[in-house]
Amino acid sequence: MSEGAGSSQVPARLAGRVALVTGAGRGIGAQTAIKLAAEGARVVVNDLDADACAETAALIADNGGAALAHAADVTADGTAEALVQAALDAWGSLDIVVNNAGYVWNSAAHKHSDEQWQAMLDMHATAPFRLLRAYYPWLKETVSREQAEGRVLCRKVVNISSVSGTDGAATQLAYSAGKAAVVGITRTLAKEWGRLNVTVNCVAFGPIDTRLTQTYDGAPPTIEVAGRDYKVGLARQQVENMVANVPLQRVGQPRDAAGAIFLFCIPESDFVTGQLLVCSGGLRS
């Protein structure tokens, strides 16, 4: 952070806060964890890929931040509780939860298998639900104590959706259903947790340049998730057609996405809850 002549350093806006970011090994999640840490938060970095998870945590540490790598599958039994406990064991608090982890398993609706349908719902709806449910017991006890002491602290939940969930997308029936569910989870929990002074908001992303949306020519690339390969990416013509409908005339970068998430984590958004922010460069469907 630079300082001009005669100026004082701007205080980190998230100093003293503890954050948990799922799917933070690469892409949007990694940039979000790095951004939160740069603003003073201590971050639990979660990812299924242990190497990627450790790399993000190391980048944060190398830049003077505090991070704990916790590699785990967010869809597995017990992971939600373990992630919350990891934050509490390391730093005694958990103030920001970003439900970002996810992947795609695409096909035409009539080709969707039951396994495919359930996998997308487990990843994009059930995993965030379980994490937030696991967070609640500590949250309720802590907020009750703070209120008795006359202290007020606004905590933050940011859930990640997609324009596929808000507007629909061909070949993404299950993924779209899961991402639409995230919006309902967000708006419902905002009403339930308002009494705890927790804001619950959602960011729906349009075209962001990650490994899930990478541009390809020829055969589509694949990613490996838990020993299985999934086709990802967008054909070059698809990307060109999409960008033609984006007023900003480009695909977003992970840092753009992290910036949108960050807006819901800072004190300036303490009176904003239950909201859906579309980060798409103005994409017209």
Q: Known catalytic residues? A: 175
DSSP letters for 213-231: S-EESSSPPEEEETTEEEE
Neighbour-count burial of 258, counting CB atoms closer than 10 A to its CB (0-12 exposed, 13-18 middle, 19+ buried): buried
CB 175 within 8 A of CB 105: yes
DSSP letters for 67-101: EEEEE--TTSTTHHHHHHHHHHHHHS---EEEE--
Q: What is the DSSP letter of 10?
A: P
CB count in 10 Å sphere of residue 166: 20
CB 255 within 8 A of CB 31: yes
CB 28 within 8 A of CB 35: no
CB count in 10 Å sphere of residue 54: 16
Could you give the CA distance from residue 273 to residue 113 in angstroms, rounded to a whole number? 36
Report residue 226 as tokens. 């838990």
CB count in 10 Å sphere of residue 284: 9
The residue assigned the tokens 């075209």 is 207
How do 96-99 and 66-71 pair as beta strands? unpaired
Q: What is the DSSP letter of 197?
A: T
Cα torsion at 27, 32, 38, 39 (round to 10°)? 170
